[in-house]
Amino acid sequence: MNSPRNEISGPTQEVARWIARLRYSDLPPRTKETVRVALLDTLGCGVYGHATPWARMLLQWARAGAPARGEATVWGEGAPSLRAADAALVNGVAAHGFELDDYHNAKLHAGAVVIPAALAMVEKLDASGERLVTAIAAGYEVMIRSSLAMHPSATRLRGWHITGVCGPFGAAAACAVLLGLNDEQTAWALGLAGTQGSGVWAFNADGTMSKRFHAGRAAYSGVLAAELAALGFTGPTQIYEFHDGGVLKAYSDASDPAPLTADLGKVYRLDTNRIKPYSCCGSTHSYVDAAFELRRRLGTPWNAKRRVRAGLAKVVDIQCGFNYFPTSALNAQMSLRYVLAAALLEGQVLPPQFSDAKLSDPAITALAEKLELEHDPALDKLYPERFAAWVAAQDDQGRWQRVDVLDPLGSDANPVGERGVIEKFRGINPQLPVDAIANVVRNIERHTVKQLLGLLAGKRAKQLQTA
């Protein structure tokens, strides 16, 4: 005899139970530290990203329907002015606004989704710093495991942008923690989140703004899902595994639910989160590292007449190996040809390299066109567990010098750490009291989100700098 529907248990409900019962004391010290570093990095990216045209457009849209009394703050402003879901949307677009935000080898950007949703909900509820850390940890873990269960490479090769597809799960998990949803409500929230997941890679056709939108929309969807579940609005409690319309089967033919629950609560996948030192697609970062090493070996200024070859995994080839044509900053940030040419010629790959003038710079575009890219099956065996790459260039005697990089700078195997994040934050937001912000984030359990958001608005607080 079949069990009643409400007694069916599976991966969705197991994940929901873990979220609903997660407590701050359950988190290992390393996981808490990873969350704090991710929070600081995402805030820096978000404040910088609010100056982009796409973030300003989303804010303009959100302002048109803003309530008389706001629940949450637009990062960099002095007071709450938007509903929590709308603030998550706007701050998420800003955080993902210039390819500076963190990423994971599950091929997604968790920070730009989970942190805007969690901060908006914490502000709305006036929750504690401990609750914020717990919520962010839950959101990252669920979002990452959702992608691993789908099989990141297979999902990406089908054309999905995994940040948009899996992001609502992460945002909903974070908000479920903050709202104190029970097991059943949390399962509903996951179901409502999963049914909103979307985002396709078509933005690469012409470098449009839709990629920036995916992270913010995912954050919005997760807030909405959790708030609806709290009201009793039901969602599918087998959203991952159901045979007809479950997301695993819908998004990938290579999916496997096992990574959703394997060692859940014992092994934190978020501990391998990655920080971006460069303002471009994470899959190109190892190539930037290799280019910098070639510059060191062969000397600068770079001789653009040298032949340069690079090996690519199949996914990277499809995603980033396209012929470069100057269209938009995103087009360049996703183009391995542009990124590698900029790294070789300029010795850095930061926001200045993606100005309008640089996008059509004759020297960069000429080198980008000349680069010899080839599919390397050996890299397929490593990617995406390792974002490995190799780049080779001829020296002045015509001999090939090859640099292999297994893990890029900023990965867990080659971390930049809190100090690197602070310097990155300072470099893109020199107008802010970065040391004071870092101190509050470092001790967020003893501070309030209101204090943190006040510093993002440029309000210096001497007592926070010395606390």
Percent of the chain with pLDDT over 70: 96
How does residue 396 score in pLDDT terms, banded at 50, 70 and 90? very high
How does residue 223 score in pLDDT terms, banded at 50, 70 and 90? very high
pLDDT tens for each residue of 355-389 = 999 999 999 999 999 999 999 999 999 999 999 99
- What's residue 464's pLDDT? 36
Q: What are phi and psi for residue 255, nearest 5 degrees? A: -70, 160
Give the pairing type, strands 372-375 and 400-405. Answer: unpaired
How does residue 462 score in pLDDT terms, banded at 50, 70 and 90? very low
User: In 10 A of CB 270, how many CB atoms?
Assistant: 26
How does residue 459 score in pLDDT terms, banded at 50, 70 and 90? low
Q: Mean per-residue pLDDT for 405-412?
A: 97
Residue 1 has pLDDT above 70, yes or no: no
- What's residue 78's pLDDT? 94
Q: Cα(136)–Cα(112) distance, rounded to whole angstroms?
A: 11
How does residue 458 score in pLDDT terms, banded at 50, 70 and 90? confident
Count of alpha carbons within 13 angstroms of residue 172, beta-carbon side:
36
Residue 298 has pLDDT above 80, yes or no: yes
Q: Mean per-residue pLDDT for 406-426?
A: 97
CATH 3.30.1330.120 residue ranges for the chain = 282-405
Q: Cα(227)–Cα(171) distance, rounded to whole angstroms?
A: 11
pLDDT tens for each residue of 22-34 = 999 999 999 999 9
- What's residue 395's pLDDT? 96
CB 397 within 8 A of CB 424: no
Residue 65 has pLDDT above 90, yes or no: no
Separation of CA 372 from chain center: 29
Q: Cα(405)–Cα(290) distance, rounded to whole angstroms?
A: 6
- The CA distances from residue 14 to 8, 58, 238, in Å, are 11, 36, 10
CATH 1.10.4100.10 residue ranges for the chain = 5-272
Residue 4 has pLDDT above 80, yes or no: no
Count of alpha carbons within 13 angstroms of residue 154, beta-carbon side:
14
Q: Mean per-residue pLDDT for 171-200?
A: 98
Q: Cα(464)–Cα(240) distance, rounded to whole angstroms?
A: 44
Residue 3 has pLDDT above 60, yes or no: no
Q: Domain 282-405 classified CATH 3.30.1330.120?
A: yes
Token output for 218: 């995912």
- Cα–Cα nearest to 115, from 15, 30, 45: 45
- The CA distances from residue 116 to 3, 44, 136, 384, in Å, are 39, 12, 10, 26
- Cα–Cα nearest to 48, from 101, 3, 11: 101
- What's residue 445's pLDDT? 97
Residue 461 has pLDDT above 80, yes or no: no
Give the sign of the dihedral formed by CA 131, CA 137, CA 138, CA 143.
Answer: positive
Q: Mean per-residue pLDDT for 312-333?
A: 97
CB 143 within 8 A of CB 110: yes
Q: Domain 5-272 classified CATH 1.20.120.550?
A: no
Q: Cα(11)–Cα(100) distance, rounded to whole angstroms?
A: 33
Separation of CA 41 from chain center: 11
The mean pLDDT of the chain is 95
Q: What are phi and psi for residue 79, nearest 5 degrees? A: -155, 155
Separation of CA 142 from chain center: 14
How does residue 466 score in pLDDT terms, banded at 50, 70 and 90? very low
- What's residue 91's pLDDT? 98
* Sole residue written with tokens 């010629």: 345
